[in-house]
Amino acid sequence: MAENNNINTKDFIIGTLIGSMVGAAAALLLAPKSGKELRSDINEGAGQVKERASEWKDTAQEKSAGWKDKAYTTSAELRQKAMDTTSQLSKSASTKTKEMTSSVKTKLNKKKSKEEQAQQAAEDVADAIQEATEELEAAKRQG
């Protein structure tokens, strides 16, 4: 859209310049003056058009330099902001990953601990059953 705006502005300036020249030439040619006066007026009008075009060129150069500087500054700011945001997101993701890893390890250790406790309890029950069986057999032999 900005490109379309620039094209419209450029076309308008070109049209204004051409229209000014044609209008000045028509006015000078249709005015009742001698050849010398007419040539002098045409030269004067051409000089004025040339001067205006030079002023517009200088203004356009100044504005374009300002826009270039603004674009450079804005792009540098946006690049820095993007880098900061990326860094912050990376740190956040790293922190979340560490937290999740720690949480999973803790839960896994708890589960292993419970499994070990259950296995120890099963071994204790098996030992108790073995002892009870041995006592019963010993009692049967004596009895």
CB count within 10 Å of CB 38 equals 14
pLDDT surpassing 80 at residue 34:
no
Stated pTM of the model: 0.41
Both tokens of 115, joined, read 């499994």
C-alpha–C-alpha distance, residues 52 and 67, integer Å: 22
**Residue 4 pLDDT:** 60
C-alpha–C-alpha distance, residues 114 and 112, integer Å: 5
20: left (phi over 0), alpha (psi -120 to 50) or beta: alpha
pLDDT surpassing 90 at residue 77:
yes
The residue ranking higher by pLDDT, 82 or 46, is 82
Percent of the chain, pLDDT > 90?
Answer: 10
pLDDT surpassing 70 at residue 131:
yes
Q: Residue 57: which pLDDT band, with cuts at 50, 70 and 90?
A: confident
Mean pLDDT over each residue of the chain, to the nearest integer: 84
